[in-house]
Amino acid sequence: MGNFKIEKATTTRINNVDWDNLGFGVFFSDHIFVSDYENGKWDEGKIIPYGPMPIEPTMCTLHYGQSIFEGLKAFRDVKGGINIFRPDKNAARLNHSGSRVCIPPFDEKTFVEAIKELVRIDINWVPKKRGQSLYIRPVAFGTGNFLGVHASSTYRLIIMTSPVASYYPEGLNPVKILVSSEYVRAVRGGLGSAKTAANYAASLLAGTLAKKNGFSQVLWLDGVTRHFIDEVGAMNIMFVINDELITPSLEQGTILAGVTRDSVLTLAREWGMKVSERQITIDELIEAYETGKLQEVFGTGTAAVISPVGLIQYNDKSMIINNMEIGPIAQKMYDTITGIQYGELEDVHGWNVHIDI
């Protein structure tokens, strides 16, 4: 149990939730965790009612984007209690992101304990239906009030929760993605491997244009040659080519080290698949498609877990994957990971942090 100060909400908003139409990130639970950094250290943290927070117009993050965030989920275990999926990985990644924008590291054990306590308090907000979950959103940002390009000396970490359904309206049905040949999201040496607000702001224009043309997401190419595949806006990308699972490597520092990505690669290797983390070009992908070797494409991420890709559009080239149907590898990955998350399958890796009710 965390030793956090707790101020309970006097009223609840849970009766306003439409549990049959949750969407994603629409409803927010009654409480949040808050910790402030001042005079060189983070305070012990507290849990308080969800609500507005006052800011000054000069708060530095509004001007200079010194902000990072995370995303993870909690699930109702079919045998009772709640499973939080791999929060230690998110704790470590939060600090990696913070190191790229000068936000001081937050104690990783305290981070996990804060999430556990927050979920305990808002236990009724964890959805009961299969396919739904409690999304957990930590965000840390500079709180200093000044104008001038330099790091803040004060920070705030907030952890909030939200009951959610599928991230994509398509659910587990294959999505259509557009390869961006005009815009780039990240470059080597930049913020691509960090979950920063700036990283996502850079993707908004291309993503908006893609959606106007009927695509769910953008598949990004590298920012220098526009030749190598990086990732999709909200997920890492996986290709099954000639029975080999291929995904862009993390070495270039331009893509996020996804928790679901790591889970998928771990399972694939255990299943005896040939797995490659390497650079892959858009030309190689087209060649694999044209020669019939491209069997499946799917995205991996906390929000969607597994998102099969049914169509990739690159300039005037349309590649329809597996007849716009989910492939066997994507289906098995989804069934296995969600089975572990909901306690239906044995958690041999110790990925779940379990909370008894």
Q: Are residues 194 and 285 located together in one domain of the fold? A: yes
pLDDT at 175: 94
Q: Are residues 142 and 218 located together in one domain of the fold? A: no
pLDDT tens figures, 169-204: 766 889 999 999 899 999 999 999 999 999 999 999
pLDDT at 253: 93
Q: Are residues 252 and 312 located together in one domain of the fold? A: yes
Q: Are residues 211 and 311 located together in one domain of the fold? A: yes
pLDDT at 234: 84
Q: What are phi and psi of 124, to 5 degrees?
A: -70, -15
Q: Are residues 156 and 187 located together in one domain of the fold? A: no
CATH of the domain at 33: 3.30.470.10
Q: Are residues 199 and 65 located together in one domain of the fold? A: no
In a domain, 312, yes or no: yes
Quick check: 138 and 117 in contact, CB under 8 A?
Answer: no
pLDDT at 90: 98
pLDDT at 167: 81
Q: Are residues 152 and 231 located together in one domain of the fold? A: no
Q: What is the DSSP letter of 59?
A: B
In a domain, 355, yes or no: no
Q: Are residues 146 and 40 located together in one domain of the fold? A: yes
* Containing structural domain, residue 284: 175-339
Secondary structure (DSSP) of 154-209: -EEEEEEEEEE--SSTTTTSPEEEEE-SS--S--TTTTTTS-BHHHHHTTHHHHHH
In a domain, 356, yes or no: no
In a domain, 240, yes or no: yes
User: Which of residues 145, 165, 185 is at a domain's end?
Assistant: 165
- How far out from the chain centre does Cα 354 lie? 20
In a domain, 345, yes or no: no
Contacts of 30 (CB under 8 A, 6+ apart): 9, 12, 13, 14, 49, 50, 121, 122, 125
pLDDT tens figures, 226-250: 999 999 988 999 999 999 999 999 9
pLDDT at 2: 65
pLDDT digits (tens), the chain, 357 positions: 568 999 999 999 999 999 999 999 999 999 999 999 999 999 999 999 999 999 999 999 999 999 999 999 999 999 999 999 999 999 999 999 999 999 999 999 999 999 999 999 999 999 999 999 999 999 999 999 999 999 999 999 999 999 999 887 766 889 999 999 899 999 999 999 999 999 999 999 999 999 999 999 999 999 999 999 999 988 999 999 999 999 999 999 999 999 999 999 999 999 999 999 999 999 999 999 999 999 999 999 999 899 999 999 999 999 999 999 999 999 999 999 999 999 999 999 999 999 998
Beta bridge partners of 352: 85
In a domain, 37, yes or no: yes
Q: Are residues 143 and 15 located together in one domain of the fold? A: yes
Judging by DSSP bridges, how do beta strands 274-277 and 317-320 pair with one another?
unpaired
Count the domains in the chain: 2
CATH of the domain at 275: 3.20.10.10
